[in-house]
């Protein structure tokens, strides 16, 4: 039992370390990990695939015509995305 508890703590510690490293790498490279809600199959989706790292694509639970896209994107490309696709 003690071995199982230590194993869980070790894995939890590794996960925390991985998260800290990921966040630091994103910070120093000027990237952000965000979720963007876009229309399914739209030009925005193609643009994100071309200009960012798409981590996951999940249908929106409230409206299946939209997708929640998790991406890693540079600040510069995020600004371009907003300029091209976000209406103020």
Domain ranges of the chain: 2-85
- Report the pLDDT value the prediction gives residue 16, as an integer from 0 to 100: 84
Residue 8 pLDDT greater than 80, yes or no: no
Count CB neighbours of 67 within 10 A: 21
The whole model's pTM is what? 0.78
Edge-to-edge strands, sheet with 31-39:
31-39, 66-74, 53-59
- Residue 9's pLDDT is 62
Q: What is the pLDDT of residue 68?
A: 97
Grouping H, G, I as helix, E, B as strand and the rest as coil, residue 45 is helix
Residue with more model confidence, 64 or 2: 64
Q: What is the pLDDT of residues 10-65, one digit of tens each?
A: 667 778 888 888 999 999 999 999 999 999 988 999 999 999 999 999 999 999 89
């Amino acid at each position: 039992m003690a071995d199982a508890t230590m194993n869980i703590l070790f894995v939890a510690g590794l996960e925390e370390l991985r998260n800290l490293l990921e966040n630091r790498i994103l910070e120093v490279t000027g990237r952000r990990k965000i979720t963007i809600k876009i229309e399914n199959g739209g030009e925005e989706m193609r643009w994100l695939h071309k200009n960012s790292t798409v981590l996951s694509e999940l249908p929106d639970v409230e409206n299946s015509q939209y997708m929640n896209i998790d991406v890693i994107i540079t600040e510069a490309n995020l600004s371009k995305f907003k300029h091209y696709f976000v209406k103020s």
